[in-house]
Amino acid sequence: MWTRRKPAVLRAALPAVIAAAIAFAAASCERDKIVNYGEARKRMVEREILGRGIEDQRVINALLKVPRHLFIPEEHMHYSYYNLPVPIGYGQTISSPFIVALMTQELELKSTDRVLEVGTGSGYQAAILAEIAGEVYTVEIIEPLAKNAEKRLRELKYDNVVVVLGNGFWGLPDEAPFDKIIVTCAPEEIPEPLIEQLGDHGIMIIPVGPTGFQYLIKVRREGDDITTEEVTPVSFVPLTGEHGDAQDEGQD
């Protein structure tokens, strides 16, 4: 049943001295960069997350911890801690920090939850989920994005994340059911395979609607009863291949 609710001394020694000076300067710059990114991440959370309805301390802690700049291409890294979606290549983006926080909070995660993410993208959302949930399975249809995300997540020691190359429209039936499902691209209707893979008492958060007019929808399952609730208007990359014949992964 369906219901719906609304980041300089001897010349011979000069080369060694110069090399040492360069190495020291580079190390200092790297150290400063790390400090600056950490401070920027904290400011981002203070300005863009707190006070905007994000109250789950586990979500706040995850955003304070996960280095968003490491999930963003170098040419766009200066945008890492602005509340903006940022291009990650292949026509895809990393979602704004607030949207990542909101969607994560709406999942009402538990430490034992098995989570399915449709649309790995950079892997940032998966890292946020992995800070809170027990297991995260994330599906990405664009092979370079999937490989890069998997490498990045392994380097950051997120051993509870499994990256799968595939078409997320169909979910991962061999791993179902999932306690929570999060979708980072917008179909015009909620894919039935994802509904089927949502476990009892499960929650799915998904943007739904045509390009330019989408709502973030929260889906709950209680036995055979499925209820949906509109959370907020959003703008996501569309899910264009509803039956698996085109790209269906978008923001993360």
What architecture is the 38-234 domain classified under in CATH? 3-Layer(aba) Sandwich (3.40)
Which of 28, 80, 95, 122 is labelled catalytic? Answer: 95
- Whether this model's pTM surpasses 0.75: yes
Structure tokens that stand for 180 in this block: 């929570």
Sign of CA dihedral 82, 86, 88, 94: positive
CB 175 within 8 A of CB 116: yes
3-state secondary structure of 21: helix
CB 216 within 8 A of CB 203: no
> Residue 101: which H helix or E strand, with range?
helix 97-106
CB 239 within 8 A of CB 15: no
**Domain residue spans of the chain:** 38-234
The per-residue pLDDT string of the chain (252 residues; one tens digit each, 9 = 90 and over) reads: 554 554 333 333 334 433 443 333 333 334 344 448 999 999 999 999 998 999 999 999 999 999 999 999 999 999 999 999 999 999 999 999 999 999 999 999 999 999 999 999 999 999 999 999 999 999 999 999 999 999 999 999 999 999 999 999 999 999 999 999 999 999 999 999 999 999 999 999 999 999 878 999 999 999 999 999 999 999 998 875 555 443 433 456
Q: Does the annotation mark 111 as catalytic? A: no
Structure tokens that stand for 137 in this block: 């399975």
CB 59 within 8 A of CB 115: no
> Residue 193: which H helix or E strand, with range?
helix 192-196
